[in-house]
A and B are shown apart, each in its own frame.
Chain A
Amino acid sequence: MAKHWGQHLLKQILRVMLLMAATSIVTFMLMKLSPIDPLQANVGQNALGSMSQEQIAKLREYWGVGADPVKQYLSWAKDFCRGDMGISLLYRQPVRNVIAVKLSNSLLLLAFAWVMSGILGFLLGILAAMYQGRLPDRIIKGYCIIISSTPTFWLALLLLLCFGVWLKVLPIGLSVPIGVEAAGVTLGDRIYHAILPALTLSITGISNIALHTREKMIEIMESDMVLFSKARGESRWAMFRYHGFRNALLPAITLQFASISEIFGGSVLVEQVFSYPGLGQAAVSAGLGSDLPLLMAITLISSAFVFGGNFLADLLYGIIDPRIRRGGQHI
């Protein structure tokens, strides 16, 4: 059994590495395909006009225009494997430093929203299914449908309007107060500025997991197992505690780990609205400014999170589900 697990694990790790390599190639190709001239986009037509040929040639080299793509990719890959992610063209700093700052800002948001939406979504989904067709179910289902039809960025705008503009209780943007030295920023400040973005992400994240858990739980409630439990006179609470919870938790875990991709996507939009200097906002600037090294690094890191999440879900499943843990078989 241990051997099976080892093999399974090794296979998964290899697959993830292969996928990551493919992701980097695809990202690189897409960026290189782009007809947008990074010089035009970042330096501007007027500035370019007033420059000498030498200066322009230097700039072209800096932005990697006209270089042989294969060579460029290989040299990038070689550096990346050594841990050198290159220099961000927009920020004029090592990509690693930029990412470190932005990621630490975003992680706070993402982790909070992920955990909150996971727990709340699961509980709401269960609640809705236990009261299927009745008032709690109608309210929860209605909420989920409204939220999943609402664009994330618009919800962010609404919250900004309510709390930032009308009530004036929460800040309009940025991760720290304006004009305060980096050293003077307290944890309190950071949390204060992260409340609205985190709230937006949590609100939107709930609907997916709640709807799926509800569906799964309804399936469980219609199973022979619950029919028998009912025939044995078990209360709604006992039914949930002994049967529903465990059986609904497994698919919910998989789903929640798979939702990392969506939460990240949401953070791109939310950070844009709240001018929150996180990874998502950096991705937008990198995309608009054709900052190849930065965008490559962000894409790879976010997909590492996604693949890592799937991998962890797989692992957790093996630990939680006795059929896999004791049976020695894997999915």
Chain B
Amino acid sequence: MKDMTEQNVIKSTSLLTIEHLNISFTQYESGIHRRVLSVIQDLNVQIHTGELVAIVGSSGSGKSLLAHAVLDILPYNASMEGKLNYCGMPLTKDRIRRLRGSEIVLVPQSIGCLDPLMKIGPQLVKGRKDAASKRCMSSILHYLGLEEELSDAYPFELSGGMNRRVLIGTALAEQPKLVIADEPTPGLDPAIADRVIKYFRDMADQGIGVLLITHDLELALRAADRIVVFYAGNTVEEALPEDFRNESSLRHPYTKALWRAMPQNGFQPLAGTQPYVRDLKEGCPFADRCSMYTEACSQKIPYRALRSGYVRCLYAE
């Protein structure tokens, strides 16, 4: 644990900056036609040390790819453009290959990421056998509330919730500066999900930068320092958790709709569906579900600063 003064100093340094990130895929359809699909457009996010930033979006909005792009593990038919900066220097492919798994770690979405034929313990520490790794292994298991005997178990012998904690454990086994958690809570009951999210909050409090990618806005509001709202491959708003106390302090119509859909705020569902990336047109992706839509919305919309956050909407104020 670091003392408060040091933590405050660290908090001001920028850890990861993503600017104008675009990701697209090449695909075949109906036999022999080829097309290019753009799945993430003009994404901008900044994470500081000791900060937990949540990227919130419904499933199918392409947010998992963001994690893959940062770690340079996109599939071979994907290509990306944009500027990535880590600790003030460009995050080149060479650099990410050196840093991933040590300074920058991923907590993946699927428990299928665990090797079915490798025991939990060795999997936590990447198969290292030295005494320090063994100590590290048992302290992690203890921290995560797992019995020490489980290090000799195979993933199929553990429950889903336990395996998910093991995935978090893999991040703790390193000394990371940046943790990217890709949807770490699906399929968990609320009490356990709460506990899982608390692990990430603890990491941030120790000075680690955490990028939490999730579909669960409520969960994100409980732990995050900043919330980035993601819609159909676009970042539409960046807000503080406090902004979600009132609808008026929010900026984008989609975020407002999300707010209204929360149980404590009236539970009003939003009509329509998020467009599939293939059907996206130039301009605001939310256009066809928005009550403030005008002609001007079919142009490219800039991402601009507004109050203490950002928004991608011409009419937000």
Contact = CB atoms under 8 A, between A and B. Distances in A.
Report if A and B touch in the complex (beta carbons < 8 A).
yes
Given A231-B73, A234-B126, A247-B115, 18 more contacts: A224-B108, A224-B112, A225-B115, A225-B116, A227-B113, A230-B71, A231-B101, A233-B98, A233-B101, A234-B101, A238-B126, A242-B115, A243-B117, A247-B116, A323-B116, A323-B154, A326-B157, A327-B156
A134 interface: no
A246 interface: yes
Contacts of A327: 156
A321 B154 CA distance: 11
Interface in A233-283: 233-234, 238, 241-243, 246-247, 250
Interface in A142-178: none
Given A233-B101, A238-B126, A228 B106 contact: yes
A322 B117 contact: yes
A223 B105 contact: no
- Band of interface residues on A: 20 to 34
Contacts of B71: 230-231
22 contacts: A224-B108, A225-B113, A225-B114, A225-B116, A228-B108, A228-B114, A229-B115, A230-B73, A231-B100, A231-B101, A231-B106, A232-B100, A232-B101, A232-B106, A232-B170, A233-B102, A241-B127, A243-B117, A322-B154, A323-B116, A326-B154, A327-B156
Contacts of A228: 106, 108, 113-114
A238 B113 contact: no
A238 B71 CA distance: 18
A266 to B, nearest CB: 32
Interface of A: 223-225, 227-234, 238, 241-243, 246-247, 250, 321-323, 326-327
B100 A233 contact: yes
A238 B98 CA distance: 15
A180 to B, nearest CB: 52
A225 B157 CA distance: 17
B118 A243 contact: yes
A250 B117 CA distance: 10
Interface string B108-144: 1010111111100010001100000000000000000
Interface residues of B, number: 27
Contacts of B101: 231-234
Nearest to A228: B113
Nearest to B98: A233
Contacts of B118: 242-243, 246
Contacts of A225: 112-116
B20 interface: no
B101 to A, nearest CB: 2
B108 A242 contact: no
A232 B126 contact: yes
Nearest to B173: A232
Contacts of A231: 71, 73, 100-101, 105-106, 108
A71 B266 CA distance: 89
B97 interface: yes
A243 B116 CA distance: 9
Query: Counting chain B CB atoms within 10 Å of each CB, which of A227, A230, A231, A321 scores highest?
Result: A231
Contacts of A246: 115, 117-118
Nearest to B97: A233
B117 A321 contact: yes
A243 B119 CA distance: 11
A36 B114 CA distance: 62
B314 to A, nearest CB: 38
Query: Counting chain A CB atoms within 10 Å of each CB, which of B106, B115, B126 scores highest?
Result: B115
Contacts of B106: 228, 231-232
A242 B126 contact: yes
Query: Counting chain A CB atoms within 10 Å of each CB, which of B68, B106, B117, B170 scores highest?
Result: B117
Query: Counting chain B CB atoms within 10 Å of each CB, which of A247, A322, A326 scores highest?
Result: A322
Contacts of A241: 127
Nearest to B105: A232
A229 B73 CA distance: 10
A77 B99 CA distance: 71
A156 B211 CA distance: 62
State the 5 A-B residue pairs at the shortest beta-carbon distance, nearest first: A233-B101, A228-B113, A232-B101, A231-B106, A246-B117
A241 B97 CA distance: 19
Contact of B117 (A229, A233, A234, A247): A247
Contacts of A224: 108, 110, 112-113
A47 B155 CA distance: 75
Given A233-B97, A243-B118, A323-B156, A238 B112 contact: no
A234 B170 CA distance: 13
